[in-house]
Structure 1
Amino acid sequence: MNPSPGTPEIRVDLGAIRANAARLVAHTKAPLIAVVKADGYGHGMVEAARAAKDGGAFALAVAAPEEALALREAGLPGMILCWLTNPDTDYKACIAAGLDVTAYSVAELDAIAEAAAAAPAPASGGERARVQLKVDTGLTRGGAPRSEWEALFARARRGEQEGSWRITGVWSHFACSDDPDHPANDEQERAFREALAQAGAAGLDPEITHLSNSAAAILRPSARFTAVRCGIALYGLDPAPGHTPDIGLRPAMTVRAPLVMVKDAEPGAGVSYGHLWRAERETTLGLIPLGYGDGIPRHASSPDPATAAEVLVAGRRRPIRGRVCMDQFVVDLDGDRPPVGAEVVLFGPGDDGEPTAQDWAEACGTINYEIVTRIGGRMSRTYDDSGDTFVHTPTVHTPARHGSQG
């Protein structure tokens, strides 16, 4: 086997992310919060954040405070929201960096108040911390349950009056927005409106209110409120396959590797661990130097040729044969003999017939989110810019201070 001249890589098109952000603003006509958690869904958090801001996003959002702090340290300005805290969260660092932290409970507000009391008073006066409140409207995951809304809002208002914080947002998250006809969507939107009414009755007047993730932002105009929160759509992937209209989103990630070996296989030859697949006839096989150690799903393997994941080699899609291993997998070249070093495209935007992340998701029985987020391992990540310069001057770039609640 001769060494390959190439190395596996994840190539990210920043122009696509920038244009996707602009298209989402144009379609929703709402301020865009760009979600760049989990290292930008595998695309690179800081790079994706900059591209999204260039495309018109007014704010950024991540899960962990550590992610938000890294964005601020990289020089990203403006609102940066984080929402997964724990008992050891360094609220003082978050306050010093001007981050928006999320509280689900009175206990979390008390912890933030303690940190705020120890923080230096802003030179301009006013509140020390920026806090958003998450309410559970039916996802039954994070967020304050309905039974605690009254106490949460009362404590939040008291903290405002004491100068501990400014309540900058009230928000929640859909459970079933990828299924636009699911009755839970109406129920959650109704519950969110009830939460906003309670918050208002408590004297809160948040800068933004947001409920919609990517699917709801695109499919459910009534739930856009004063901002929308988009993650997967920012990277050009469909948040609701089978339901989403074409608004011009373009996948930003392409995964490539070199072909490192070509060999003959006789009829009956078993391939890879467990001989999940045996050659039914004489064929040729290609070896790809990636495996589940690099985020390639083991479920991409299948004994059924109709359901195995595919890659593009020498202008043709080639199915995976046998088990995906930790470092490598095998594809059926169907008698062809591409040269060692030939480019293998695992997935990309589909321009040249290559599979997409959605194709891989369907083959693996999962969602496109998982395909792009888990990929990486020992691969390098490189960036280019397609020059996609979708231009749109939206009527709204930032939330109106007293904007519509629906």
Structure 2
Amino acid sequence: MTSESQTAGTRVLHLSSAQLARVSRALDGDEAAAAEFDSALSSDPVRLLVEVLSTKSVPAGSGVSYGHTFVTQHPTVLARVAIGYGHGLPRKAGNRAWVTWSAAGGPAVRLPIVGRVAMDEFVVDVGRTPVEPGQLMCVFGDSDEGEVPLGDWAAAIGESPVSVIACLDRRVTRSVVE
């Protein structure tokens, strides 16, 4: 039986057909395709959007996720986001990487991933940003939109961009855009 946390939430990877082809070739061992994928990111960005499952106000001193590797310094709001290491997101993104969120038509706001990345979710410190359950966070995306580019996101965790994409499992929907 599948638990709700394993199936809950939208997870969509938007990429061009050219980038999808490069990733496919890279998975088959084509090192040139992997290098092409990485070098094309500035002109052909890849975007991962993930649903916010819930938000919760917490007091200062609240430990976050397994092992409490992050403890809030002041009262804040935390958001649970519907992707984790079970979907292929690197566990080491916790306390190292950022995501973005924006209100309809508003500027993107960078927010930190805090605590350990769990199997099916991670936590973001949204502070006073008016994030609501059901909205989407951009894990990485288009720098022209104010989003964290995949190259920067991958560098923050010590991975190559193509390896981050290659590890995402089938529960992350691929949406080919042109």
Fold match by TM threshold 0.5: yes
Rounded Cα–Cα distance in structure 2 between residues aligned with 1:359 and 1:249: 11
Q: Post-superposition shift, 1:381?
A: 0.9
Structure 1 residues 151-230: aligned runs within 5 Å = 230=32
The aligned counterpart of 1:313 is 101
The aligned counterpart of 1:400 is none
Q: Post-superposition shift, 1:316?
A: 0.4
The aligned counterpart of 1:8 is 11
**Contact between 2:45 and 2:149, CA under 8 Å: does it hold in 1?**
no
Change (3 A) 1:312 1:249: closer
Change (3 A) 1:290 1:248: closer
Q: In the alignment, is residue 39 of structure 1 matched against residue 9 of structure 2?
A: no
- Of the candidates 228, 231, 251, which is equivalent to residue 33 of structure 2? 231
Q: In the alignment, is residue 368 of structure 1 matched against residue 161 of structure 2?
A: yes
Q: In the alignment, is residue 277 of structure 1 matched against residue 70 of structure 2?
A: yes
What is the identity, as a one-letter code, of the residue corresponding to 2:33? G
Deviation track 1:283-311 (CA, whole Å, cap 9, x = no partner) reads 11111010001111111112xxxxx2011
Rounded Cα–Cα distance in structure 1 between residues aligned with 2:168 and 2:44: 15
Q: Higher relative CO (CA 8 A, sep ≥ 6), structure 1 or 2?
A: 2
Between structures 1 and 2, the one with greater strand share: 2
Structure 1 residues 237-252: aligned runs within 5 Å = 237-238=38-39, 250-252=43-45
The aligned counterpart of 1:59 is none
**Contact between 1:284 and 1:337, CA under 8 Å: does it hold in 2?**
no
What SS does structure 2 have at the residue aligned with 1:382?
strand
Rounded Cα–Cα distance in structure 2 between residues aligned with 1:316 and 1:12: 22
Deviation track 1:326-365 (CA, whole Å, cap 9, x = no partner) reads 0000001012232222121111232211111212222212
Change (3 A) 1:249 1:338: closer
Change (3 A) 1:341 1:373: same
Q: Post-superposition shift, 1:8?
A: 0.8
Rounded Cα–Cα distance in structure 2 between residues aligned with 1:332 and 1:322: 10
**Contact between 2:9 and 2:53, CA under 8 Å: does it hold in 1?**
no
Deviation track 1:15-49 (CA, whole Å, cap 9, x = no partner) reads xx38xxxxxxxxxxxxxxxx84x63457xxxxxxx
Q: What RMSD over aligned residues (CA atoms) do the two structures have, in Å?
A: 2.5
The aligned counterpart of 1:349 is 142
The aligned counterpart of 1:265 is 58
**Contact between 2:9 and 2:50, CA under 8 Å: does it hold in 1?**
yes
Aligned residues: 165
Rounded Cα–Cα distance in structure 2 between residues aligned with 1:231 and 1:292: 25
**Contact between 1:265 and 1:282, CA under 8 Å: does it hold in 2?**
yes
Rounded Cα–Cα distance in structure 2 between residues aligned with 1:251 and 1:318: 24
Change (3 A) 1:377 1:324: farther
**Contact between 1:270 and 1:278, CA under 8 Å: does it hold in 2?**
yes
What is the identity, as a one-letter code, of the residue corresponding to 2:97? A
Runs of 4+ in 1 over 3 A off after TM superposition: none
Q: Post-superposition shift, 1:377?
A: 4.2
What is the identity, as a one-letter code, of the residue corresponding to 1:301? G
Change (3 A) 1:8 1:264: same
Deviation track 1:198-243 (CA, whole Å, cap 9, x = no partner) reads xxxxxxxxxxxxxxx6xxxxxxxxxxxxxxxx313433x23xxxxx
Bigger Cα Rg:
1
The aligned counterpart of 2:3 is none
Rounded Cα–Cα distance in structure 2 between residues aligned with 1:359 and 1:248: 10
Any gaps of 5 or more consecutive residues in structure 1? Answer: 19-34, 43-61, 64-81, 83-212, 214-229, 239-246, 303-307, 386-406
Rounded Cα–Cα distance in structure 1 between residues aligned with 2:86 and 2:170: 6
Rounded Cα–Cα distance in structure 2 between residues aligned with 1:353 and 1:287: 22
Rounded Cα–Cα distance in structure 2 between residues aligned with 1:280 and 1:296: 26
Change (3 A) 1:11 1:290: same
Q: Post-superposition shift, 1:367?
A: 2.0
**Contact between 2:45 and 2:150, CA under 8 Å: does it hold in 1?**
no
Q: Post-superposition shift, 1:384?
A: 1.5
Deviation track 1:45-79 (CA, whole Å, cap 9, x = no partner) reads xxxxxxxxxxxxxxxxx43xxxxxxxxxxxxxxxx
TM-score (norm 2): 0.81
What is the identity, as a one-letter code, of the residue corresponding to 1:309? A
Any gaps of 5 or more consecutive residues in structure 2? Answer: 1-7, 103-107
**Contact between 2:56 and 2:79, CA under 8 Å: does it hold in 1?**
yes
Q: Percent identity?
A: 28
Q: Post-superposition shift, 1:260?
A: 1.5
